[in-house]
Amino acid sequence: MNNKNLVTIADLSVKDIDKLFALTVRMKESHKNKQTDHSLAGKTLGMIFEKSSMRTRVSFEVAMTQLGGHAIYLTKQDINLGERESIKDVAAILSRYVDCIAIRTFAHETVTELASHSSVPVINALSDYTHPCQALTDLYTIKEKIGRLDGVKLAFVGDGNNVARSLAFLCAKLEVSFKIASPENYELPLESLEIAKRIAKTSSCIEQLRDPVEAIKDADIIYTDTWISMGREKESIIRRKDFKGYQVNGSLLASAKEGVFIMHCLPAHRGEEITDEVIDSPNSIVYDQAENRLHLQKALLNLLICNEKNEY
Ligand code: CP
Ligand code: NVA
């Protein structure tokens, strides 16, 4: 990989992704077999979190521990990025202490600015624009469950936000069919759809629809995300109203293929975007999906930190 960072899916080539997925398989295997891998001994990950997190924070921290390294969790209170100190200064100085930086923040520009001033790899751990670690784990999980990505059809029902955008970009790159059904005003922005279509060899594999039933018919995977992303809490009342009809529930599933997999990046707001009967059904793979965050991020950290040229 020419780029040392994982800021967006665009930083990765298909070859990089193949290598990342292959190493994830090995990381998962060796963890299950209780083998010790201290490939990151003496290395430190600095984790800047300006938003809440359970999976991302814990999986990154555990990943570093399991690989023999260490992680430092830095909240807004600790760093106060851009206010107590400029992003440039934080990037330059942290680069002298740690071997990699993960950042979860609001504006995507905060991630790009940090990456531009950092001499160590920077990983986007979620911005308002994208959540690349999530999408990579999701497509890895789909490959693990179905045994291939070729010809797979993913239907996303809900908000055309960060998670949907990363999935659209990665599906385009890996030639997975991506259909998204969103209510008016919550579609994936046209510009993002165009980027996804440009990435895809066949632009027809990326489609924005209105009707969830149409989006999910023939789908191998139905994916949803919260209607109220972090930072949008003030819009809760209107969003709950606008997303009515976009709940992944038993009645929607009645129109889906038998054996369709249900995915959710989590945290789930049970009873809003997804019902208990669906998320707890045998079709649901949300816990396997969440577990794979750990294995994939171990592979990612290993590739970014160990490779001196920062090439996958
Ligand atoms: N899916 C995900 O990123 O979860 P957290 O917000 O808990 O990290
Ligand atoms: N879209 C959600 C994803 C959480 C993992 C958010 O940004 O809050």
Query: Does residue 109 share a domain with residue 66?
Result: yes
Query: Does residue 241 share a domain with residue 148?
Result: yes
Q: For residue range 28-39, list pLDDT tens digits in order.
A: 999 999 999 999
Would you say residue 203 lies in a domain? Answer: yes
Query: Does residue 277 share a domain with residue 187?
Result: yes
265 included as an active-site residue: yes
Q: Which domain holds residue 73?
A: 9-131+292-306
Question: Is the pLDDT reported for residue 89 higher than 70?
Answer: yes
Query: Does residue 69 share a domain with residue 17?
Result: yes
Would you say residue 121 lies in a domain? Answer: yes
Number of independent structural domains in the chain: 2
Query: Does residue 91 share a domain with residue 164?
Result: no
Contact 111, 132 (CB under 8 A): no
Query: Does residue 119 share a domain with residue 167?
Result: no
Query: Does residue 194 share a domain with residue 78?
Result: no
Tokens of 80: 């106060």
Q: How far apart are CA 172 and CA 149, in angstroms?
A: 11
210 included as an active-site residue: no
Query: Does residue 251 share a domain with residue 273?
Result: yes
**Substitution site in 49, 51, 54 for ligand 1 pocket (most atoms within 8 Å of beta carbon):** 54
- Containing 113, the helix (H) or strand (E) segment is helix 108-117
Q: State residue 202's pLDDT score.
A: 81
Question: Is the pLDDT reported for residue 1 higher than 50?
Answer: no
Q: Which one from 57, 104, 239, 295 is the annotated catalytic residue?
A: 104
134 included as an active-site residue: yes
Q: State residue 308's pLDDT score.
A: 54
Q: For residue range 238-263, list pLDDT tens digits in order.
A: 999 999 999 999 999 999 999 999 99
According to DSSP, residue 284 is labeled B
Question: Is the pLDDT reported for residue 100 higher than 90?
Answer: yes
The mean pLDDT value of the chain amounts to 96
Q: For residue range 102-136, list pLDDT tens digits in order.
A: 999 999 999 999 999 999 999 999 999 999 999 99
What's the CATH code of the domain at 164? 3.40.50.1370
Question: Is the pLDDT reported for residue 310 higher than 70?
Answer: no
Would you say residue 311 lies in a domain? Answer: no
C-alpha separations of 198 from 6, 194, 206, 309 in Å: 20, 6, 10, 29
Query: Does residue 275 share a domain with residue 139?
Result: yes
Q: Ligand 2 centre and the CA of 106: distance in Å? A: 11
Tokens of 1: 């990989």
pTM of the model: 0.97
Would you say residue 143 lies in a domain? Answer: yes
